[in-house]
Structure 1
């Protein structure tokens, strides 16, 4: 057993409610790190709602990339088989190289930044500010989650670093694949399928700001229906 393994004592750690995430007792910062460790769960849940609401192919394939990133992480874990720095209860996979949290967060942040810079290119001052705030928020949360994995003894620095590099690299590659190959050549075919029409699957790749587009389209439709109702009266 390594020196790091000896640092962990289960009697001195507490489990976050409704989760298996552990943090040192009476350590407010450790508890905060444990809460942030749930970020991948929050993001995955948010994707489910966004996909059901928007039915957009780009969002769907963003989520598919996240799933593939997780498969890649589990494959590497069982190939490398490097143990975690601390022996814990049987809640976690015993292997820690690479860190799944750091790989997840770097994939998500890398893809999100590329998406914001490439897709949302209306250059209004407000949009620039919002885009900058979102990018800063993603980077800060990602850095805190990665630090928390080391602080809570779930991973070594090298495990987090390797996971971060793999996640960022795969996020960049997956974005290029979606943007360069799928968007121009595959998405138009998918939306033409009967099943896509049935499930209301759509491709909004050519719309630079879908929120602004939906807002203006809804406003115009409401005005048109209002004028139609007034004429009928």
Structure 2
């Protein structure tokens, strides 16, 4: 069950950390984009309906939803791609800090994407497609959406209001908690039927 909550928990934790910082505009944009990328993967799963790999060890209880594309890979590819774009084009950091951050981001992406295949939750194809979906949404989100709304919606004004930042953090946290709780209730209903 916890595997289904890791994505939302990671998004909320990242959003809260960043929204509380001076990078609030990007943090808010990043958080909404991560949710959009994950919802895109969930929508594609309903259309593609490709099953997850079957268990070979007899111990693995296959997850109930479809496997194509991998939602975890979509989310982590979005996060990694957005972080890379922001680091290279908007963050003003030294070369050493930039290289360290990029290494951390790419390493994290590799670990999460590789674990999906290694744990038997997805095929390599499902992880690759999920990664492509996440990176594509990140490119469109970063270059299209952010730059289109940045001037119309004065994002920098959020830096002035700590109360607004904390309210946004709590709102994102409450929304994600609601989604996770709803999923947990659904899993419990499925288990009772079995």
Does the TM-score normalized on the shorter chain lie above 0.5? Answer: yes
- TM-score normalised by L of structure 2: 0.71
Choose which of 145, 149, 172 in structure 1 pairs with 2:139.
Answer: 172
Aligned alpha-carbon RMSD (Å): 2.9
Q: Which residues of 2 match residues 22-61 of structure 1 at below 5 A?
A: 38=6, 41-52=9-20, 54=22, 56-61=24-29
Gaps spanning 5+ residues in structure 2: where? Answer: 166-194
- The match for 2:98 is 131
- SS of the residue corresponding to residue 114 of structure 1 reads helix
Alpha-carbon deviation of 1:146? 0.9
* Larger helix proportion of the pair: 2
For CA contacts below 8 A with separation 6 or more, give which structure has more relative contact order: 2
Alignment of 1:62-211 (within 5 A): 62-86=30-54, 88-89=60-61, 92-121=63-92, 127-183=94-150, 185-188=151-154, 191=157, 199-200=163-164
Aligned residues: 160
1:47 offset after TM fit, Å? Answer: 1.6
CA distance in 2, matches of 1:44, 1:149: 21
Runs of 4 or more, structure 1, over 6 Å off, are none
TM-score when scaled to structure 1?
0.60
Rg larger in 1 or in 2?
A: 1
C-alpha change, 1:59 and 1:128, in structure 2 (3 Å) is: same
1:57 Cα deviation from its structure 2 partner: 2.2
- State the 1:130 CA deviation: 0.6
8 A Cα contact 1:57 1:187, kept in partner:
no
